[in-house]
Structure 1
C-alpha cells in the first residue's frame, strides 16, 4: 500500500472519530426531554395507561394535567389556594408535636439516632406481640370487610373490588416481619430522606402551598411510601407495571374499560368509565370528583360565617359513570379530597 493511501485511511478514520465524538457530545448536551403531557388520551386505553405511567413516576402535576380537560385543570389550580371553610385550627400541642417530629427526622445523623431509639422498642414489640400480630390483622380484615359490605356509598362492583383487595393484602400483612430490625433500619433511612426532600417545618406550610409546590411534595411523599412498602415486600411499581387495559364498550362518547392487574401475585380486575370531550378521553370518576369538589367549595360559607355547612356529597349512583372506584386511574383523586 502506498504511503499516501495509508495517510488517507488514517485521516479518514480520525475524521470519522471526531464526527462520532461530536455527535455523541451533541446528543448528550441536547438530549431530548420527556414528551409533554397531553390532556386526555387519544383512546380510552391510552388515557388509562398514561395515567398509570404518570402515577408510577409520582408525577402528580402531570397526572392532573393529563386527567382533566384544560378548563377543569385551570379550575383545579385556582381552587387549590382558596380558603377552606372546613379547615380546623391547629392546636398548639399538635403544632409542637409536628415541629418536633420533623426536626427529629431531618436533623444531622437522624438515621442513626432514630434507629438507636427504635431498636430496643422493636425487640420489645417482637417479644410481646409477634404471635398476636396475625390475629390482630385478621380482626382488622374482618372489620374492614364489614365496613365495605355495609357502605352506602359504594356500588356492588366497588364493594367486590375493595373486598378482593382486602383479601389479598391481609394475608401479606400477616406474614410481614414488621419488627425485623434490618428492614426497620432501611425504612428509617427512607423516611429520613423523604422528610428532608419534603422540607416541611410547620403544619401551616401544608395549608398554604400552591398547586405546583403541593404536587412536588406529594411526589416526594409517594415515592418514599413506595420505597418503604417495597422493603416489606409490596412493590407498587410491580402492580402498576402489570396493568392491562381492555375496552369493553365504546359508543357515543362514552367508554367502559376493564383494568387487569396483579397484586402480590393475585390477578385482579376492575372497570372504569371514560368520557370523550374535545376529542380526548378522560376518567369519568376523576372528572366528576374534581367538578363536585369545586361546586362544594363555591357553595361553602366564607370562613367565620355562621351559615350552615353544605350538605355532604351524595353517594354516586350505580351508573356507568360511577363503577370505577377504586381504580388505577382515580387513586390520586384522594389528594383532592384531602385538600378540598
Structure 2
C-alpha cells in the first residue's frame, strides 16, 4: 500500500467522523441521549471527543435500528458506522499494512522513496485532488444542497491545511508511524473477516483506540480536531413538529465552518436525518448487494 493512501485515508477518515461534532453547549446532556434538537449533534459528538465509538453509535440511531445494524454487521451485510468514513473500504487494508511485523521499517522506507524532495509534487497532487473532490461533490446526485455545502466547506478547509502541512517531514512521519502501528496492532482488525468475527460493538470498542491515535497524529501535523470538537456552536434554526434544522459552526484547520444539519425526532430522541438514512440503508442491505460491491 502506498504511503500516500495511508495518509489520505487517515486524514479523511478522522476528519470526516469528527466533523460537526463537539460538546460545548452551555450545559448539555452528553451521555443521556438527544433529548433536545441540538443534542442530535452534541451528544454523539461528545462520545467522539471521549473516543467512544460504541456510545457514538448507540446515540446516533434509535434502539430498533441499532439492533438491525448489529444483526446486519454479524451477517456481513453492513459495516456501519465505518461506512460514514471516506475510504472506509480501505480501513482493514490500512490496519493490515500498519500491523505488519516490519511495518515501521517498510512504511518509512516507502515514505523516503515517495516523499523525499517531493514537496512541490505533493502540493500539486493535493490541489488536484481537492479540485476533483469539489467537482465530484457538486455533481453528486445523492447529496442535497445542505449536504453538498457541508462537504465542500470541509474539503476546502482540509485541502488548504494539507497544502501547508509538514507532510514530507521525515521525523514526524517516523513518530506518526510508531504511534499508528502500535494502535493498529492493538485492534487485531486487519481484515473484513476479523471485523465480522469481532462483531459490531467489539470492533468499535477496539477501533476507538485507533481513532484516538490518528487524531493525535494529525494534531502533530497541525490539524487540531480536538479544537474543532471543543469549539462547536450549535443552534436551533427552525422546527416543525418532529423535524428541525440546526445551524452548526466550528473551526476546522484554521477556518470557520458554517453549515446546516437536518434532524428528526423518533420517540423522545433527536437524530441527524442524513445519518439515519444511511444507517437504515446499511441495515436493510441484502447479501446480494454486498456481493456485487
Query: Scaled by the length of structure 1, what TM-score is found?
Result: 0.65
Structure 1 segments unaligned to the other structure (5+ residues): 1-34, 86-94, 310-339
Residue 215, structure 1, aligned to residue 204, structure 2: yes
Equivalence for 1:329:
none
Q: Is the 2:31–2:47 contact (alpha carbons within 8 Å) kept by the matching residues of 1?
A: no
Match for residue 122 of structure 1 among 71, 90, 112:
112
**Distance change (3 Å), C-alpha of 1:241 and 1:290:** same
Q: CA deviation at 1:274?
A: 1.8
Q: Is the 1:102–1:200 contact (alpha carbons within 8 Å) kept by the matching residues of 2?
A: no
Secondary structure of 1:44's aligned partner: coil
Q: Is the 2:236–2:246 contact (alpha carbons within 8 Å) kept by the matching residues of 1?
A: yes
> In structure 1, what is the Cα distance between the partners aligned to 2:69 and 2:94?
31
Q: CA deviation at 1:275?
A: 1.6
Equivalence for 1:138:
127
Q: CA deviation at 1:258?
A: 0.8
Q: Is the 2:73–2:199 contact (alpha carbons within 8 Å) kept by the matching residues of 1?
A: yes
Q: CA deviation at 1:201?
A: 5.7
Equivalence for 1:293:
282
Q: CA deviation at 1:166?
A: 2.2
Match for residue 102 of structure 1 among 99, 103, 112:
99
Q: CA deviation at 1:156?
A: 2.3
Q: How does 1:146-165 map to 2 (within 5 A)?
A: 146-165=135-154
Q: In the TM superposition, what whole-angstrom CA distance separates every residue of 1:166-219 from its partner, at most 9, and x where no partner exists? A: 222222111122221221122022112212321346653133221221111221
Q: Is the 1:186–1:231 contact (alpha carbons within 8 Å) kept by the matching residues of 2?
A: no
Match for residue 182 of structure 2 among 193, 203, 214:
193
> In structure 1, what is the Cα distance between the partners aligned to 2:289 and 2:59?
31
Secondary structure of 1:192's aligned partner: helix
Q: In the TM superposition, what whole-angstrom CA distance separates every residue of 1:123-173 from its partner, at most 9, and x where no partner exists? A: 87323x223222222222221122122222222232222222222222211
Equivalence for 2:248:
259
Q: In the TM superposition, what whole-angstrom CA distance separates every residue of 1:83-110 from its partner, at most 9, and x where no partner exists? A: 449xxxxxxxxx99986762325xxxx7
Q: Flag as ranges the 4+ runs of structure 1 deviating above 4 A.
A: 95-101, 300-304
Q: In the TM superposition, what whole-angstrom CA distance separates every residue of 1:19-72 from its partner, at most 9, and x where no partner exists? A: xxxxxxxxxxxxxxxx9944x311111232111111122211111211222222
Q: In the TM superposition, what whole-angstrom CA distance separates every residue of 1:266-315 from its partner, at most 9, and x where no partner exists? A: 11121112222222222222222222222223xx44999xxxx7xxxxxx
Q: How does 1:54-93 map to 2 (within 5 A)?
A: 54-84=47-77
Structure 1 residues 259-268 or 205-214, which shifts more?
Answer: 205-214
**Distance change (3 Å), C-alpha of 1:213 and 1:200:** same
Q: Is the 1:119–1:181 contact (alpha carbons within 8 Å) kept by the matching residues of 2?
A: no
Secondary structure of 2:270's aligned partner: strand
Q: Is the 1:123–1:179 contact (alpha carbons within 8 Å) kept by the matching residues of 2?
A: no
Structural RMSD (CA): 3.2
> In structure 2, what is the Cα distance between the partners aligned to 1:135 and 1:245?
35
> In structure 1, what is the Cα distance between the partners aligned to 2:264 and 2:75?
28
Which structure exhibits the higher relative contact order, with contacts defined as CA atoms closer than 8 Å and separated by 6 or more residues?
2
